[in-house]
Amino acid sequence: MNDTARDTARKILKGREGTRTVLPGIHILAAQGNALAVETAQGVVLMDSGPGGRVTARMITELRSLTAAPVVAICYSHGHLGYNDGAGDWLAHNAERGDPAPRLVAHANCNRRYARYRETLGLQRGLASIQFPGLEVSFSMVDATVEFHDRLALVDGARRVELLWVPAETDDTIAMWLPDDRVLYAGAAFPGTTIPNIGTPLRTQRFTVRWAESLERMAALGAQCLVQEFGPVIEGEDAVRERLLDTAQVLRWLRAEVVERMNRGMSEREILADIRFPPQWRERSYLKARYGAPEYNVRDLYREENGWWDRNPTSLHPASPAAAAAAVRDALGTPDRVLAHAAALRDRGETQLALHVVDLLALCEDDEPITREARQLKAALCRARAQEVEPYVSKALYQSSAELLEAGRKGWLTS
């Protein structure tokens, strides 16, 4: 994996703030994104433990430069890997200090997610390697010891700490609300650097309207300070409310636009070709297609109401990809012309069309010279396409696909 892809993957997972004290006793720690440490009369409440290893070790050092108080609770912002793989490191840290083990607090869906990840560990490793090429994920999952469903008063007293269920990127996403300080930690419910990452290519559904409802729930709190998952801290009640409600409005607009087209009988690909995301929204930093993308969102919305059939009868009971590709190649009779046409489309800057054409040859399983040449052209097209699209995930998948093709592999099968 080239260093550029690895550095890009690291950058996309890095919080904007580093280590910073937001208010006395409320600190952002640099983790996978922005973690939060809150000093209370009972001790420190931590939101996210980091990915483990060097990053979590640095978090522990940073916290100890700020306070000697024990960590009494670690809250899991959501169950995606990397955000709380470091929980075991914090447990060991407490033990070394002679402090009681902290409570590990999460939404009730989080432990279920971890159970699913353990069951599908081979798949999860594969997805991580494709989406975050060059990065190592520890896959260290420590189950929560305290679960809640809708709202939990975690700490009472002079600095109250409340946890809210705000299903968004995952069905176990939670937010931390400090009502006395009017500080909201939105975590995965508000990335802060991208339109919500709904419908990303490798992940399960994220349900657009449910995410909008979570944003509206958080907007109603009246927070004066918003700590975002990756973006900078937002100050001022109006600014916080604007960002949350703007994003909810965009999600509801997308839902309405997709539903209107579905009701007219349009297929997913027809909707993708027809819908136009208003340019004024693209200009806002928190709605840019950096990680999420409006096109991803359209796909997720379509899946909410439709099955897997793409309305093409050929796809109902398909032949294997290799057999279908071979049949098409044989029908063409002149594969050299196909390759030449794909190259001509590339030279005209029509990369996506060139990909459609080159697949007539590249999906064949044989190792004929023309097939190998087609795969190498497809790899080059993938690298070019990665430069043309905005969302990080799409860039990563094009680059990962190019590496696979350049290595002479015919698919993602690992054994």
Q: Is 0.85 surpassed by the pTM of this model? A: yes
pLDDT at 330: 87
CB distance 70 to 90 below 8 Å: no
Average pLDDT of the segment spanning 136-143:
89
Alpha carbon separation from 143 to 111, 115, 140, 201 (Å, rounded): 6, 9, 10, 27
Average pLDDT of the segment spanning 1-21:
71
Average pLDDT of the segment spanning 165-186:
98
Alpha carbon separation from 263 to 198, 208, 256, 259 (Å, rounded): 22, 18, 11, 6
CB distance 262 to 305 below 8 Å: yes
Closest CA to 133 of 401, 334, 335: 401
Instruction: Please state the separation of Cα 184 from the chain's center in Å.
Output: 21
Average pLDDT of the segment spanning 86-107:
98
Alpha helices (H) along 220-288: 237-263, 268-274, 279-282
Task: Say which residue the tokens 């299903």 belong to.
Answer: 167
pLDDT at 1: 45
What does the pLDDT look like over 364-387, one tens digit per residue? 888 889 999 999 999 999 999 999
In degrees and rounded to multiples of 5, residue 239 shows phi and psi of: -65, -40
Average pLDDT of the segment spanning 30-47:
96
Report the mean per-residue pLDDT for the chain: 94
